[in-house]
Structure 1
């Protein structure tokens, strides 16, 4: 009867998941608040200014690269070990762990790309109150105060950041539960020892107190701990789910103060504004990867992924905090300027208020250690480089992956796929990838095909390949428990499933019904998983089949908060320690599988829903199951910007909205927005009406087609930006403050953005809009409307009248952008097509840009097989110069047109190329718009050339 009830409950749950209703909203009762998360509630109850920790300076050891010393909690005498490192690139690392834990505490592996190289530390001064260390760069130093313990990072006379300045460091030491046999024996021995000491107290050593202090505290639960025991420390209930907590309370917490800072960003994923809000009057921001059904906007609830990185920005400096912890984490933010109106701030200024703006941040994690990297900038781009040096850069995708993707849950069968593919050709709309969701499998058994609807998958894939198109099929990490399923049998026989607290294989409910969950934290499991993508293992797959990892938070329909029980076991570790890493490991193994199947030749493309710090190394992410609502369209911009500033550039949102049905206006506006975001995919729920672009009438189809074609013309520029993201860690889609860090107007903007440095996009995201106001930055700069070529001055709010065809996009004066104007059915069909260069002159009549070309799909660029050229215009000469003379690559593409914006009419135009006679070029000049067009210059895109205007 119990089994029957459970199955009925699951059926009801599945029905809810796959049903649509206009009144859907997230069921908040399924997800914890801070008050329902016992460790968060305990830590948040701490009062500032009462830190029990002090530094024992006599334990300090300083080598050339590391400082260590012990901290002691004066309340319970438990000792911690502090380690401080100066890392290359203006980064400081601080680690705090128990000095002698009962068992090792979890330290996050596989996220850092290497052990970070260190730089010398040196002692400047020391007394009984603390220590001053030199950080070696621009008078930077660390002041370590002993009582209470505190770290201040200084540059000159300025405090850049303070740690534990509010005294909120907390470290719940591992201990034995007081009602265990071990605790009782330990307590008895301790009591006997106390009696012996009291007998001989008259002969006690005068230094006894110091000696006692110098010995680590007993790790059984101390009397103080016992007196303060609260619900949830050793066992916690949430709804009907029990968390056994065999290791007891283990939370860690640390506060950071940021003087002079009013704006902080990052810690995705949240459906919220780009600028993070203060949390004094509500829940902290939560980082805990969850399958949140129909998520709400503008709140700090956890979503599918988490990156524990925060950037702090002011007009003077940008810094970053990377909190390397994979457990459930909450982040509190407070500010001394929060709640002040603009008038209030002006009044402070007029009255001469001396209060310096400050933001305070507190990180609270359920387990693990404190391992924090403080990135000291000083510029936004420095922080991006510093973070990339730790966790790597965005994987360089094949060019097809940054083109347009067509998806829904689900295309019905091979005939449906063929009909949709033909529809794009019939209506002259380019696309590169068509996607299949879970219904393409044989009963939700991944790595299989539904035998009746997808009987000949290779034939289907070959038809796409013949058109130079590709497919993505979903492979989720929950495995149907079925003795006739090869994947399940192998995982079980190899012992690769995650275990439950009792040692058996963990089982949960997901799309297949009863499912097991492979332990992706194991390197041997990941290697096995990667091997399953080999063409002889994944039957029906071909080189143009790529992969989508969904549900990898992991999603467990009948688990607490729709995820895995925290006391499930991964080898020596509990799931609570590794939870936020799970999706990264699935992504990692899948990407490696696609690389291996080609013998290491072809670049993979893998989309993931769950992610963590470092996920950028493996592919793309999307913002999950959004809705066909205007507010969801708007929120896609700050959500992707937040991901970009913490290293994950390849981000997009489901165009049109996953749930519900968009109006034609909303769908058109979403295509226009998505065409200018890094990952461009339309996707829809199983029960929504079909939304292929031609189903909304010829006028709307024409608008959608134009937006998609704009994406394809700009593919050379997009590809160049992804190459730079791969090389440098700079975001592809970026907030305006990244390029204009001293302009306060840009600090709160998240309805417009830059692609690279040179394209500014302000999508239309309001229903019925007749106009938008875009801020064009740069006091001494100009911007050109890419559609009309009209020039506008920077440092102004520009009102732009819009129609349904409008996508407000501006090119920065002083830039050169390459496009391909011959749009074909897919990006691969455009490989050898010619380029048009758009040269937008600055007020000084100069411009610079680049052109990057490789084969678009292999790793041969790592062998210097590419073209990378600098394009520059000055003194009326436009030139192309090789940036990588050691590289070897040739292209059939040529320059077929040059458009110069803000130009004057020349008398003649001369082309010079090596080994050829000078050529006079034909041109047109539009005096009304100051646009000069050079027609058919014809030189190969990979050679040196100059064009002189006389």
Structure 2
């Protein structure tokens, strides 16, 4: 049900965020079992509920440090590498880092430990941690995020050299010996080069700052001693005649900020005890020669990240990564939202690089871009004595706690980076085939009868769908794993009725557990001691969410994860069946009476870990445990389907995510595209945005346009708030019902193509929907383009995101043709063209040189299509060539992991269309299943050749000539030639001649 705040008579009241004083009264109301009605129709986020950088102590301190550096023209980093400590062995470079600002300290802290790991996938890991710290800094993120131990580069793949005069250590590495890392000692900085070209620099601006752990009482004593000795603001100066004079030196406002909110921090009525004191760190990362950077989701902003620092920066606040339940979030804003992935990719015409800042604590990132020198026509960025004549992006990363743990990826291509990154954090789990079809949801389908009528409505109006969702109102008093028996008296029959038509059901399960001794889940959790603890580490944290007083499962406890997974077994989750799947919501976690609507940072997890260290990972841990439960409930190991709202790197291994509680506005439709593209670039390709907008009431035009766009989201779900009017796709009447039907049917027709893309991303991490620059990396016109995108390498999609639009301006990249998927009219690139986008379609074009598999028979669900024949659309390029693939398996089990699948490679060249087995040799099995054998025998019922310069005269297979029909496509699109019943199957090798 999301974080929706509109409440119905069956919903527990939530306190107004502007009136927390009502909390006690409302708690009493909940305790009495009373209900309140409240409708929220506000149209703007309450910013005062969430921190700015100035209100976040560690962010303010590190940003002030950056300002001090910027104001000092001769600023250099105080950190230096100790040359005598340098070692390189077995692919690991180690050295000591000292802070020269502490050299006069009578009790200097131990040096920091620097490590560089040269990995066998050509990436480099950079780690900085305290050596001999008084307490260990949290370093457990890697245990959750990294999928397996990585390999190191062998000794023969790198070369080490040292220039003693400059104090620079150089390492040449990479599979092709193409990469160089230069480590400067005084001041400390690291430069990464690709084929001799500087690409990524660390600490080039000297912003590395490390708040080493210290004892509060010692710091207080040192402060008192300083005050006694010198008053901390006075110096004694002796003139030439020996007379002393007192010089008063006042600390600047920036210097004072470095000492604020160190040991305790307040925000509104909340106090963060910070028992370990300050432990933040920050560092600058420069993308040299690169003026466009992407990533660091989740933010409702543009694909190419806007500047937060520097002249004319559109934003004044840094991008924040801190998973939060942000009610009615704003578009075009760097505020934190539900998910956090600290992955950033930079791209220019000449280079591509990326970094992954592996830290799950609250993190802020400033972005500063080079400005164009209008007088010279060159791009320049000037700071002190430094002048950069090439486009450059400088970023400043700041995290509250943990260790500095950074991966640098130098490609050299984007696909190399996706492969390198996904080899560390994992690829998307291949979903069941139903999961990539259409989902219908609202808060709430209220009764079993409501479910039946809605299901029947789809059949009555011939609109396919695969999944019906139930929000919290299906439960008994917000007790998860239960049913409201008067409303859902026989949930098993309800699910079986849906399953008889090939459909599934999803129910919501959140991480907060209602405090109720009579509720078996609550009671068992207490007995097993699996709840998050208060800061004392003993008593369980008690917060407030939908059920009222609640406790939160501690998923960092292995016992808690296993126990949670067991709740999904059929004997535990009464009324559940094989066709029931799960929605994990509110898992930032959302705590209605907590600071920033989340859990306090000083609460304690298993292993005495403060929540501040792992906050951004909590939702992923929940997602993981739920997926485990859905997997192990079946003997046949059915693939799980779990949707999560909160996410971090690695979430893709467990299921899908969505962009949270968007609004039914044209602006939110517009920003959905860059949000999903960004999330995909950061390694989570199975994502979607609520079609129609969650809050509010879209008019018929907006709803229809959103369906037309949502067809091309990897996760395709319509969803609505409890206070929104019912908007099932037939309720607006004609012509809208027909327009929405045609849009949804288009998704189903292309399901074989979508499933193939999901397979490919499960192998190498390549995004499913892709920014234009990933397919056209040398075309600068597309580097900031986010209002159109590619699905795979084959479909160009341009959503309509403004009212009243019937003509759209589309950029056709490359020099080849593009074919409208409806009538095969043609457009030629490169350049912008105005094309028709009437109410019944948005611009979608197939790229010349591609072959797309389809299933064109309208059915009620994807399950009903599994025996249908296939159509291949062959879009020939200017040389008469095209390629494509299709992947097929049973769509349900993990048998594909053992090679039980079909992967065919199609190629048209030299007048021959061929099909061959493209399975990797490692995936061959002695015997494929009966199911896959049956799929392989399904026929190809139609071949459609598009873009032929002349009508095909003859088509034959196996020496037998086939009938062919050709027509001219509109707009000079050439000939469209159709071959019906070509007498070949989808799983066989064949060669078909055409001329």
Q: Give me the TM-score of the superposition, normalised by structure 1.
A: 0.92
Residues matched between the structures, number:
901
Displacement of 1:230 in angstroms is 2.8
Displacement of 1:346 in angstroms is 4.1
- Structure 1, 569-578 or 55-64: larger mean CA deviation: 55-64
Partners of 2:212 and 2:279 within 8 A in 1: yes
Displacement of 1:313 in angstroms is 0.4
Partners of 1:853 and 1:868 within 8 A in 2: yes
Matched, 1:311 2:358: no
Q: What CA distance in whole angstroms lies between the structure 1 residues aligned with 2:177 and 2:376?
A: 32
Gapped regions of structure 1 (runs ≥ 5): 192-224, 913-917
Q: Superposition pairs for residues 243-254 of structure 1, below 5 Å? A: 243-254=272-283
User: Of 304, 307, 323, which residue of structure 2 is paired with 1:275?
Assistant: 304
Q: Superposition pairs for residues 719-798 of structure 1, below 5 Å? A: 719-779=755-815, 781-798=816-833
**What corresponds to 1:210 in structure 2?**
none
Displacement of 1:10 in angstroms is 5.9
- Summarize deviations over 1:323-342 as a string: whole Å, max 9, x none: 000000000111122xx49x
Matched, 1:924 2:965: yes
Displacement of 1:89 in angstroms is 1.8
Matched, 1:115 2:153: no
**What corresponds to 2:164 in structure 1?**
127
Matched, 1:27 2:38: no
Partners of 1:507 and 1:515 within 8 A in 2: yes
Partners of 2:378 and 2:390 within 8 A in 1: no
**What corresponds to 1:104 in structure 2?**
136
Matched, 1:7 2:24: yes
Q: What CA distance in whole angstroms lies between the structure 2 residues aligned with 1:620 and 1:344?
A: 49
Determine helix, strand or coil for the equivalent of 1:654: coil
Q: What CA distance in whole angstroms lies between the structure 1 residues aligned with 2:36 and 2:299?
A: 21
Q: Superposition pairs for residues 216-235 of structure 1, below 5 Å? A: 230-235=259-264
**What corresponds to 1:360 in structure 2?**
394
Q: What CA distance in whole angstroms lies between the structure 1 residues aligned with 2:281 and 2:339?
A: 21
Displacement of 1:527 in angstroms is 1.2
Q: What CA distance in whole angstroms lies between the structure 2 residues aligned with 1:652 and 1:245?
A: 37
Q: What CA distance in whole angstroms lies between the structure 1 residues aligned with 2:171 and 2:968?
A: 63
Q: What CA distance in whole angstroms lies between the structure 1 residues aligned with 2:35 and 2:350?
A: 51
- Summarize deviations over 1:681-713 as a string: whole Å, max 9, x none: 000001111011111012111111010000000
- Structure 1, 688-697 or 924-933: larger mean CA deviation: 924-933
**What corresponds to 1:911 in structure 2?**
957
**What corresponds to 2:14 in structure 1?**
none
**What corresponds to 2:638 in structure 1?**
602
Partners of 2:281 and 2:404 within 8 A in 1: yes
**What corresponds to 2:510 in structure 1?**
476
User: Of 143, 146, 156, which residue of structure 1 is paired with 2:182?
Assistant: 143
Partners of 1:64 and 1:122 within 8 A in 2: no
Partners of 2:705 and 2:801 within 8 A in 1: yes
Q: What CA distance in whole angstroms lies between the structure 1 residues aligned with 2:448 and 2:547?
A: 22
**What corresponds to 1:940 in structure 2?**
985
**What corresponds to 1:670 in structure 2?**
706
Pick closer, same or farther for the CA change 1:747–1:12 going to 2, 3 Å: farther
Q: What CA distance in whole angstroms lies between the structure 1 residues aligned with 2:586 and 2:27?
A: 17
**What corresponds to 1:176 in structure 2?**
215
Q: Give me the TM-score of the superposition, normalised by structure 2.
A: 0.88
- Summarize deviations over 1:587-629 as a string: whole Å, max 9, x none: 0001111111113521111000000001011110000000100
**What corresponds to 2:16 in structure 1?**
none
Q: What CA distance in whole angstroms lies between the structure 1 residues aligned with 2:129 and 2:388?
A: 38
Q: What CA distance in whole angstroms lies between the structure 2 residues aligned with 1:649 and 1:347?
A: 37
Matched, 1:236 2:253: no
Q: What CA distance in whole angstroms lies between the structure 2 residues aligned with 1:15 and 1:661?
A: 29
Q: What CA distance in whole angstroms lies between the structure 1 residues aligned with 2:479 and 2:35?
A: 22
Pick closer, same or farther for the CA change 1:652–1:328 going to 2, 3 Å: same
Pick closer, same or farther for the CA change 1:408–1:363 going to 2, 3 Å: same
Displacement of 1:134 in angstroms is 2.2
Displacement of 1:262 in angstroms is 0.2
Partners of 1:18 and 1:686 within 8 A in 2: no
**What corresponds to 2:754 in structure 1?**
718
Partners of 1:21 and 1:660 within 8 A in 2: no
Partners of 2:64 and 2:258 within 8 A in 1: no
**What corresponds to 1:446 in structure 2?**
480
- Summarize deviations over 1:168-218 as a string: whole Å, max 9, x none: 0011001100379xx769999xx9xxxxxxxxxxxxxxxxxxxxxxxxxxx
Displacement of 1:140 in angstroms is 2.3
Q: Superposition pairs for residues 382-401 of structure 1, below 5 Å? A: 382-401=416-435
Matched, 1:505 2:551: no
Matched, 1:36 2:68: no
Gapped regions of structure 2 (runs ≥ 5): 1-18, 70-74, 103-107, 229-253, 381-386
Partners of 1:310 and 1:320 within 8 A in 2: yes
Displacement of 1:20 in angstroms is 4.3
- Summarize deviations over 1:432-486 as a string: whole Å, max 9, x none: 0000001001100001111211121101011011111000000000000000011
Matched, 1:814 2:849: yes
Displacement of 1:534 in angstroms is 0.8
Matched, 1:581 2:617: yes
Partners of 2:505 and 2:581 within 8 A in 1: yes
Partners of 1:406 and 1:431 within 8 A in 2: yes
Partners of 2:90 and 2:152 within 8 A in 1: no
Determine helix, strand or coil for the equivalent of 1:237: strand
**What corresponds to 1:211 in structure 2?**
none
Pick closer, same or farther for the CA change 1:930–1:226 going to 2, 3 Å: closer
User: Of 687, 693, 696, which residue of structure 2 is paired with 1:651?
Assistant: 687
- Summarize deviations over 1:51-77 as a string: whole Å, max 9, x none: 221111112222121111110112223
Matched, 1:949 2:994: yes
Pick closer, same or farther for the CA change 1:335–1:185 going to 2, 3 Å: closer
Pick closer, same or farther for the CA change 1:532–1:469 going to 2, 3 Å: same
Q: What CA distance in whole angstroms lies between the structure 2 residues aligned with 1:421 and 1:849?
A: 36
**What corresponds to 1:840 in structure 2?**
875
Partners of 2:339 and 2:648 within 8 A in 1: yes
Pick closer, same or farther for the CA change 1:763–1:6 going to 2, 3 Å: closer
- Summarize deviations over 1:15-49 as a string: whole Å, max 9, x none: 99985455421000000000000000000001333
- Structure 1, 324-333 or 881-890: larger mean CA deviation: 881-890
Partners of 1:509 and 1:556 within 8 A in 2: yes
- Summarize deviations over 1:484-530 as a string: whole Å, max 9, x none: 01111111111110000122100110000000001011222111111
User: Of 355, 372, 383, which residue of structure 2 is paired with 1:321?
Assistant: 355
- Structure 1, 717-726 or 11-20: larger mean CA deviation: 11-20
Displacement of 1:159 in angstroms is 1.1
- Summarize deviations over 1:908-938 as a string: whole Å, max 9, x none: 22112xxxxx332111111454111001223
Q: What CA distance in whole angstroms lies between the structure 1 residues aligned with 2:904 and 2:877?
A: 20
Displacement of 1:299 in angstroms is 1.1
Q: Superposition pairs for residues 494-643 of structure 1, below 5 Å? A: 494-502=528-536, 503-571=538-606, 572-599=608-635, 601-643=637-679
